[in-house]
Amino acid sequence: SRSVKKTFFEPEYIGKEKNKKQVHEIKNTYNKHLDLCRAIHAEERAIIQLARLGGVSIIGSIIYVTTFPCQLCSKKIIESGIKEVVYCEPYPNIEGKKLLYQSGIKLREFEGIKARAYFKLLKK
């Protein structure tokens, strides 16, 4: 099961929410009734946190994510006015990518050292 931990915006990083509650992992739910899942994705959490702060606009911003946004998160990114998505890893379902591309949002794969590659390098 995949777990995405961090998502943030440029130029300001929105810190951790106080009294953050853990969401229990739901096993064997890949591509099954995502609309019924209790968890929210990192992209959703970041957008919601900014909305809760009030007065912080993300229109025209860049979102940095570890994994390419799914279709549900892509819709939220489009509607929130984000102009660019920087991601580390692709996502197996390409519907989100199609939506973002068709909406004119710039898509950029991160080109630095990725965590997995970095740890492999250190093990040698």
Q: What are the tens digits of pLDDT across the range 15-64?
A: 444 434 444 444 555 556 656 667 889 999 999 988 888 877 899 999 99
Q: Where are the domains of the chain?
A: 7-14+29-123
Inform me whether the pLDDT recorded for 108 exceeds 90: yes
Give me the architecture of the 7-14+29-123 domain, per CATH: 3-Layer(aba) Sandwich (3.40)
- Tokens 């130029």 -> residue: 11
Look at residue 9 in the predicted model and tell me its pLDDT. 54
pTM of the model: 0.65
How far is the CA of 77 from the CAs of 39, 71, 83, 105, 115, in angstroms? 18, 10, 9, 9, 25
Rounded distance between C-alpha atoms, residue 26 and residue 23, angstroms = 9
Task: Give catalytic residue positions.
Answer: 43
Look at residue 38 in the predicted model and tell me its pLDDT. 75
Q: 107 versus 16: which is more confidently predicted? A: 107
Joined together, the tokens standing for residue 41 give 């994705």
Look at residue 54 in the predicted model and tell me its pLDDT. 82
Q: 52 versus 123: which is more confidently predicted? A: 52
What's the chain's average pLDDT? 76
SS3 47: helix
Question: What pLDDT band is residue 14 in, cutting at 50, 70 and 90?
Answer: very low
